[in-house]
Structures are given as structure tokens and as C-alpha cells.
Structure 1
């Protein structure tokens, strides 16, 4: 049964709520990079979002992880980077009666300083595609031991030494190809401003018309391109075919409606832009590995016990 939104819901994590008693570093102890660690149970284990990026390492326990519309499993060594305002939560399902002292090691940081650095320092540009992907959540593999050492050094340092450790960690993650994206499909980084503007225009068109029926020909005409040229351009820019990309966005929209409303699945099918319930169920199962009903049931766990 859907969660009663009057009791619990998606929470914004404001700076004023980051109490050192919960594991946050106190004001004055940190600069650009803020470190946090906590166990379970904890008031911080909840379905929430914030303005900062968050690099999150699980040290102990296992359970369900929720990032955007993604639902998956986590265990010790689970390492995820989430972007600004991406909802997330880790819910342990094996917590012993006396709790766990250290479950999470977390690093939070803002976007603007890194963007400014990238504009002035060529070497920093390598990190920007990583940050673009983080808008949809990234899980890294085969990096947990090295990450824990880096997290500990960042925790135990301050000032310039901390910043150097942070940059080294971000550089290693940016260079890693052993990862998976957890929510919707991101745009690939592009140094071509005209191409980037055009693909942004294409995505805006898709998003604005997601609940209606439109064709690739409609979008190609909107961009002033032939269908053949558009096909090559769109796959190069997004890494996906037009059909797959639209279906992914529609499934993502359906996931949001399943998580945040009590509308019937049949209604959500049409709200998300599908014109056939059987096709919707088939696509949903292919992308999410479960039925819409199962997704809604599991998604209720994002609020924790």
C-alpha cells in the first residue's frame, strides 16, 4: 500500500539540520569539502535530497538502495556518487539489535567551485563529465578498498592536504570505466557548444511532449535536420537510439508517479506517454526488472522502517 504522504515524504536536507551530533563535521572544521559518518539507526537514514554532490560509501550492513527512480541492493563497499537534488536513501535490512556504529562514510561538496576551476585549469576539465553523470547517480565497482582509504585520509586531514586527497579521489573516479548509471540516461559531455545546445533543445522537446505522441520525424523537423542526420547525431550525443531514450524517460516518469502518487497503474501508463498498457508493462519490466506494481511496493521502503 502506498505510504501516507502526510506522515512521511521526500525531505530537503537544509544546512541548518546538519547537526554534528548526527556525524556531520561542525562549522569551522571544514571548507569546500564536508565529511560525514554515521551508523544505524540514525535520523539521517531517510528519503531526502540536498544541493550538494554526495559521495557515499557503505562500510557495513546490506539492504535496499534508492537513488532517483533506481531500486537495488547494497552491501559493504557499495560506492555511489549522487548529484545535486537527486533523492536517495540506503535502508539496512540486517541491522543487529544493538545497531551498527559505522555504516556510512560520506563526502559532500558543491558544484560552482569545481566549475570555476575547470574554466581556469585545463586538468580539471576531466572531472566535469563525471559530475554530469552524477546527476543520475553512479555506482562504482572494484574500488571500495581504495575509496575507504581515501575517505579516511580526507576525514583525518584539513585545508590543502584534504583538498589534494579529494582531487586525487575525483580524478580516479573520473578515469574509472567500471561503473553503472542508476537513474535516467545522462547527456555525454561535449566541447561543441552548438551541438550541446542542439541536444539540449532535443531533450527539452522530448520532456515537454513526453505525455503526448510524437515521432522521430517530428523532432528532426523541430531541429531542422533530416531523419538520417538526426539518428546519427542523437545516438552520438546520448549513447542511445531515439526510441530507447524516449522509452527510458517515459519509464522514469512512470516511476516518479508510482513513487509519489496513488494513481492507478493504468492511468500512469497514459500519463507517462504510453498508449498501450501491455506495451507499458513489457517496457517497464525490461528496464526495471520488475512490474510497475512490484516497483511501487518496493519503493515504499525508501522511507525506511
Structure 2
């Protein structure tokens, strides 16, 4: 499957763009762009691909996608039948983090929005949103430029305060480790992403940041609410998913390339984290994408 860079450059010299997509089906292209994207699916159903996340989608969902994160909404087969009478409708906002200037996110009033955009690097699905939020997103299509700007900031603020959400792509899938203001965590992520293909232990990371092993384990579990071993396996499986999605190697080669020293442990960890075996994951991907694009 080929990954496409789409040019979302706004030609109207606005700080961000709002588009209304209303077609028989959504575009069947696995793509990315340098802008963040806020998408409200008003009408449609199918399979949503964001990074290594593959889930069903239905109307009414609101998704925030970070810059350069590959994604696609693929409609069910019936949407491609001329006589179905179905349609795919969505409102999409494309914007850069600095859409209000290089420094606006540094203002204390925008702290929660800044955190929201950081989380968007993995993609965010908002759960249990009020209908008013969807109506506000759709209203961006009809407001004058100033009112549209104010309303968009209000929408971002509402989403930033909403605490019922799911992050979609795995940590291991994103192109670079998650940035953080905590220097110790920054060093942990950097070490893991540089060395996850090797045999590493929690004690190795503890030594890297100057902690003893037991203190490191407690610190890591408190911050991440999971053990370091679980986190490391998620990183490795996220990397393996990318290889499977890009059809680079066979499953055995991917297992060793991802840092696992035997195929049985790879299969077990993959199924625990992804909910399906590597072969089923690859087959599902092939059936839904390669045969249709």
C-alpha cells in the first residue's frame, strides 16, 4: 500500500481551513499531511485506519489527528455500489499548531489546548461528546472569518477539557518518541526508541537515567500505569504493525526485527496488545486496503 502526502495548503490565506465533504464515499487513499485534522463524521460507516489503529467507525464520531500521522476512512463495500443510495458526509478542519502564531500556545491560557495537540500525535477519538460540539464544528462552515476563529478556539478548549477519549495509534507507531517537559521521561523514551530492537531490561534504562532498578520500576508504573516491560512490548508491537502495514518482511523476520528473540513470544505479545494474531492482522489489512486501492 502506497502512502500519499496530500497538499492541504489553504489557498484562501486563512489561518485554517474548513471543508465540507459530501460524496457517495470517502477518498480511498492512505495519506498524511503536515496539518493537524479535526474530523466530524456526520454520515457514513466503515473502517478507520489511523497509524496502526484499525477500527470500525460510524456517524457522529469526532477525531483529532496529529501532523504527519497516516490515516484513512474506508467505507463499507455497499457504499461503492451505485444503487446503494448511501453517502459519506464529514466536516474537516485542517490547521497547523502555530495557526495563531509561533508563540500563542506558550500562553498559560492555552496550556490545555497545547496538551491536547500533543496527544493528537497518536490520534484521539472523543467519546460521549455533547451534540452541541458537533453542531459547533459544522457551524464553522458558515461563520465569518473572525467568528470562525473564535468558535474554533472554543471548540479546541472544549475538547481539551473533555476527559473521555481514546488515543488510537500505538506509541511505537509514531515517527518519533512523545515529547515531554519531564527530562527524565524524555531520556527514557529516547533510550527505548534507540534500543528497542536489542535485548534491553528495565535495569538498563534505570542505569541510563541514574536510578536503581526498583525505584525506576515504581516511577515508571506510577507515571504510565503499566510496567516497563508492557510499555516496551507496546513499542515493539507498534513497530511490528508498521512493518506489517507496509508489507516489508514476513512475520518471522518482523518478529526479530522488532526486538523479540523468539516467534512464540512475539505472537503471544502481539495478540495480547492488538487483540489478534499477526497473520490475522496482516490478512485483515490486505483485504480491506490492498484489494480496494
Give TM-score scaled by structure 2 length.
Answer: 0.88
* Correspondence for 2:50: 67
Q: Which has the higher contact order (CA 8 A, sep 6+)?
A: 1
Given the alignment of the two structures, is residue 109 of structure 1 paired with residue 95 of structure 2, yes or no?
yes
For the 8 Å contact 1:38–1:103, the answer to whether it is kept is: yes
| 2:189 match: secondary structure | helix
In structure 1, the residue corresponding to 2:280 is in which secondary structure? Answer: helix
Q: Distance in 2 between matches of 1:248 and 1:210?
A: 10
Gap regions ≥5 residues in structure 2: none
CA 1:296/1:188 → structure 2, altered by over 3 Å: closer, same or farther? Answer: closer
Measured against aligned partners, the alpha-carbon deviations of 1:15-59 in whole angstroms (never above 9, x if no partner) come to 46xxxxxxxxx722x611211222345684310000111011111
**Correspondence 1:254 to 2:234:** no
Give the root-mean-square deviation of aligned CA atoms: 2.3
CA distance in structure 2 between the partners assigned to 1:247 and 1:37 by the alignment: 40
Which of 51, 62, 85 is the equivalent residue of 2:68?
Answer: 85
Q: Contact 1:50–1:85 (CA<8 Å) still a contact in 2?
A: yes
What is the TM-score with the length of structure 1 in the denominator?
0.85
Contact map agreement 1:199 1:237 (CA 8 A) in 2 = no
CA–CA separation in structure 1 for the residues paired with 2:202 and 2:134 = 46
| More displaced 10-residue stretch of structure 1: 155-164 or 242-251 | 155-164
- Offset at residue 157 of structure 1 (A): 1.2
Question: Could you list the per-position Cα deviations for residues 128-176 of structure 1 after superposition, in whole angstroms to 9, with x for gaps in the alignment?
Answer: 1111110001111122622321122111113221111111111111111
Query: Match of 1:107, SS?
Result: strand
Q: What is the distance in 2 between the residues matched to 1:158 and 1:235? A: 48
User: Helix, strand or coil: the match of 1:81?
Assistant: strand
Equivalent residue in structure 2 for 1:12, among 1, 5, 17: 5
Shift of 1:259: 0.8
- Cα 1:102/1:269, change in 2 over 3 Å: closer
Q: Any stretches of 5+ residues in structure 1 without a counterpart?
A: 1-7, 17-25
Q: How big is the shift at 1:208?
A: 1.0
Task: Tell me, yes or no, if the aligned pair for 2:63 and 2:126 is still in contact at 8 Å.
Answer: yes
Alignment of 1:152-163 (within 5 A): 152-163=138-149
SS in 2 for 1:200: helix
> What is the aligned counterpart of 1:289 among 270, 275, 278?
275
Q: Is the 8 A contact 2:24 2:86 kept in 1?
A: yes
Residue number in structure 2 paired with 1:19: none
Instruction: Identify the residue that residue 273 of structure 1 maps to in structure 2.
Output: 259
Distance 1:102 1:278, change over 3 A: closer
Task: Indicate yes or no: 2:33 matched with 1:50.
Answer: yes
Report which stretch shifted further, 65-74 or 110-119.
110-119
Q: 1:40 to 1:280 in 2, by over 3 A?
A: farther
Give the aligned partner of residue 39 of structure 1: 22
Contact map agreement 2:44 2:87 (CA 8 A) in 1: no
